[in-house]
Structure 1
Amino acid sequence: MKIYTKTGDDGLTGILGSKRLRKDDARIEAYGTVDELNAAVGMARAMKLPPEQDELAARLQDELFTLGAALADPDPQGRFHNQIDDGHVAGLEAAIDAMTEELAPMRTFILPGGSPAAAQIHVARTICRRAERLTVHLANLPDEDVPTPLLIYLNRLSDLLFVLARTVNHREGVADVPWISKK
Structure 2
Amino acid sequence: MVVLNKIYTKTGDAGETALGNGARVAKHALRVNAYGTVDETNATVGLARLHATDEMDAQLAMIQNDLFDLGADLCRPDMEKDAEAEYPVLRMADTQVTRLETQIDAMTKQVEPLRSFILPGGSPLAAHLHLCRTISRRAERLSVELATMEAVNPAAVKYLNRLSDWFFQASRIANENGKRDVLWVPGANR
Bin for the TM-score computed over the shorter chain? over 0.9
Q: Which residue of 1 aligns with 2:72?
A: 69
* TM-score using structure 2 length: 0.89
Q: Which residue of 2 aligns with 1:114?
A: 122
Matched to 1:145, the amino acid is: A
**Percent identical residues:** 49
Q: In 2, distance between residues paired with 1:20 and 1:99?
A: 42
Q: In 2, distance between residues paired with 1:27 and 1:136?
A: 10
2:31 to 19, 27, 31: 27
Q: In 1, distance between residues paired with 2:26 and 2:35?
A: 13
Runs of 4+, deviation exceeding 2 Å: 77-81
Matched to 2:120, the amino acid is: P
1:53 to 42, 53, 56: 56
Q: Which residue of 1 aligns with 2:85?
A: none
Q: Which residue of 2 aligns with 1:165?
A: 171
Q: In 2, distance between residues paired with 1:174 and 1:42?
A: 25
Q: In 2, distance between residues paired with 1:176 and 1:40?
A: 20
Q: Give deviations 1:120-166, integer Å, cap 9, x for gaps.
A: 1100100011000000111101xx21011111111111101000111
Matched to 2:159, the amino acid is: Y
Q: Which residue of 1 aligns with 2:98?
A: 90
The answer to whether 1:147 aligns with 2:153 is yes
Q: Which residue of 2 aligns with 1:175?
A: 180
Q: In 2, distance between residues paired with 1:174 and 1:109?
A: 14
Matched to 2:47, the amino acid is: M
Q: Give deviations 1:57-88, integer Å, cap 9, x for gaps.
A: 0000000100000001112143335x212111
Matched to 1:71, the amino acid is: L
Measure how far apart 1:182 and its partner are: 1.9
Unaligned runs of at least 5 residues, structure 2:
83-87
Q: 1:126-145 residue pairs with structure 2 within 5 A?
A: 126-141=134-149, 144-145=150-151
Matched to 2:158, the amino acid is: I
* TM-score using structure 1 length: 0.92
**Does the 8 Å contact 1:114/1:177 carry over to 2?**
yes
Matched to 1:46, the amino acid is: L
Q: In 2, distance between residues paired with 1:25 and 1:18?
A: 15
**Does the 8 Å contact 1:12/1:23 carry over to 2?**
yes
CA RMSD of aligned residues (A): 1.5
